[in-house]
Amino acid sequence: MPDTQNSVPDTALTPDETPAISSASGAENKPAEAKTSADDNTKAEKGPFVPPAPTPTQTGPADIRFDFNLGCRVQLPEGAWTIRLRDLDTGNVLFETKAGKATVNSAKRFYVRFSIEIFDTAGKVFSHEFDCRNQDVLIQLPVGTLGDTLGWFPYVARFAELHGCRLTCAMSKAIIPLFQSVYPHICFMTPEEVENEDVLKTFYATYTLGLFFDDAAAIWQPSDFRLVGLHRTAGYILGVDPTEQIPMMAPDEETSRPVEEPYVCIATQSSSQCKYWNNPDGWRQIITFLKESGYRVICIDQKPAHGTGIIWNQIPHGAEDQTGDRPLTERVRWLRHAEFFIGLSSGLSWLAWAANCKVVMISGFTHPTNEFHTPWRIVNWHSCNSCWNDPGYRFDHKDFLWCPRHANTPRQFECTRLITVENVKRVISTIPGFPAMPNL
């Protein structure tokens, strides 16, 4: 039998399939194919991530250029070359071919500790082993998402600590104030700032964090996020310990309580109907229960109403309205002083988790392994559940009423419709310190 340890995969010599990549907001991008080609000056399609500098940023001998911006990239000048790419950790030869003037881009775009070897007819001309210590590295997070960014950022910080690199993190302008002061060793930029050509040409390596729904060839992620969890996928992509970790966030500028009385924050809105608690009278009854237990109930959703067509979800009756486009730092202040938070598998639940607020999460369309651990996670195992984590169903961001197994049937959205008020009350009753007024 041939030695498969060092065999070169056939796919290394042909264009890879290029899966659409998605953030939770539904943004998609088709990156350039992994390939060996003659000079390719085509501009990458505009997507959720800034494409790397058109030319590899690092210089070698004989006009050879290379970098690790979205995979290992090597640009060869005119000549008769043999190029070999190897994974230093596994020992596998990933790619080997003879080429003239060409650009080589590895198939894998997640973190791999590559080595590059280049030979001419006389012998080895150049070799380089990936080492980003004291190098400029870019990690991009898609804008338009809150929970994803909060879940992924601890792995970004872990990468910087592990490698000792000069790390730039591109993310939404609205989220940067949560982290900037407590991670002074990380440079925070918006995607618009990163697009500057003078900035792009400084990076030794670039990695992108996203939800790669159609990545059957494992180009962008070594393990499907639906298997390992929404947040832990970042650890796998970046090659760091995927153990869950709460991010640090900036201290509140205003340290006083927003209101004097004990209160509970709730967030009832989401981006798709499958994420809602679809029990038609659930929120009203829970709000009554909380008030009778001595709490004010504060709704901190961005919008008081959300939906599409004839399906609209309103702020629950009895909740105090603190909805609106508020700074996230203000939301964090409310959460840090709350007795606990009740929400869905959505961004504000992740914000509550990051604020070290006790989280009651109501979700049926995701499996509990999809989100951070909370002792107060509610799912009904007697109903259909966890379709989001089933790779047989591709989540459709454009279908507000997405329910892949039971659409247009009496069972549509049963995953949360069958989560009872009694169940939610029971879970709330296990929170330490509940109720606020025991004698009521």
Residue at token pair 């690790």: 68
Question: What residues pair up with 137 in beta bridges, in sequence order?
Answer: 167, 205
For residues 319 and 297, what is the distance between their CA atoms, to the nearest angstrom?
5
Coil/strand/helix, residue 177 = helix
Q: What is the largest CA-CA distance in the chain?
A: 88
Nearest to 36 by CA among 7, 72, 5, 62: 72
User: Where is 264: in which H helix or E strand?
Assistant: strand 263-266
For residues 176 and 70, what is the distance between their CA atoms, to the nearest angstrom?
23
Nearest to 29 by CA among 248, 220, 195: 220
Q: What is the β-pairing status of strands 166-170 and 187-189?
A: parallel
Which of 67, 148, 215, 301 is the catalytic position? 148
For residues 394 and 380, what is the distance between their CA atoms, to the nearest angstrom?
22
Task: Mark whether 16 is an active-site residue.
Answer: no
Give me the DSSP letters along 272-340: SGGGS---TTHHHHHHHHHHHTT-EEEE--S-SEEEETTEEEEPPTT-EE--SS--HHHHHHHHHHSSE
For residues 65 and 121, what is the distance between their CA atoms, to the nearest angstrom?
19
Q: What is the DSSP letter of 161?
A: H
Active site residues: 148
